[in-house]
Amino acid sequence: MPEFTRDETLDDVMSEMAKEAGAGEGASTGFEVPVGEHIRAYRESRGMTVQQFAEATGFSAALLTQIENRMVSPSLGTLVKIANAFDTTVSSFIGGKEEREFFIVRKEDRTTVSRVGLKDVEKSPYTYESLGAGKAGRKMEPFLVRLQPLSEPPTARSAHDGEEFLYVLSGRVAVCLGALSDVLEEGDSIYYNSTIPHHVHSAEQGEAVILAVIHAGK
């Protein structure tokens, strides 16, 4: 799914979310997850140094340090890659809820993955809210994603194991998928293998909102 970070697209539509911060206008007022701190706690629980973690995930130690210190907000693709490297799930880094066989998420309780600090909120390429945290043993990761227009064309795309399904709830969404470049209108959807380099963003000057469902391939 989306990304464009210093690394990638989904993989970086959050990573490059590099200066991203807090939730954008109109985002949920629910609990905000300091995902970088959760990643650090996970790494430390395994007794690993940042360098060892970098070697295992394929990301640079510098980028992981920035993520842990909330200088850069990880994209969904980045979280998927880290989770796959340790045969765990994205929820390992989002968490915050007791997991059960079923879980209802009220709109006021949606979990927003934190951006970076709380400055420059308006500069975030996108924010995402977990709709599945709480369901034990889940194979899919559903998110409500709010995409902002880019100030310049994306320079990187994301690719990782698994599949992704995107459904446009509002606005218009530009999709770059392999050799394909297209625009999805409200009510349109796309389903693709995440191994294909990809990137999505708002195709207009305003915000676009999508439902994104990710299967990490595990």
CATH fold for the domain made of 17-215: Jelly Rolls (2.60.120)
Q: Are 14 and 77 in contact (CB under 8 A)?
A: yes
Confidence of residue 167 (pLDDT cuts 50, 70, 90): very high
Structure tokens at 174: 């530009």
Structure tokens at 178: 């392999």
- 3-class secondary structure, 212: strand
Residues 68-103: tens digit of each pLDDT:
887 877 777 788 888 888 888 777 777 555 677 887
């977990």: which residue's tokens? 130
| Residue ranges of domains in the chain | 17-215
State the chain's maximal CA–CA distance in angstroms: 47
């430390």: which residue's tokens? 44
pTM of the predicted model over 0.85: no
- Phi/psi at 154 (5° precision): -65, 140
Task: Pick the range with the lowest mean pLDDT from 16-20, 39-43, 160-164, 185-189.
Answer: 16-20
Task: Specify the higher pLDDT residue, 102 or 194.
Answer: 194
Alpha-carbon span 48 to 35, nearest angstrom: 18
Alpha-carbon span 58 to 64, nearest angstrom: 10
Helix residue spans in 69-188 (DSSP H): 76-85, 91-94
pLDDT value at 192 more than 50: yes
Alpha-carbon span 90 to 94, nearest angstrom: 7
Q: Is 178 left (phi over 0), alpha (psi -120 to 50) or beta?
A: left
Task: Specify the higher pLDDT residue, 5 or 111.
Answer: 111
Residues 102-115: tens digit of each pLDDT:
877 787 777 666 55
Alpha-carbon span 101 to 103, nearest angstrom: 7
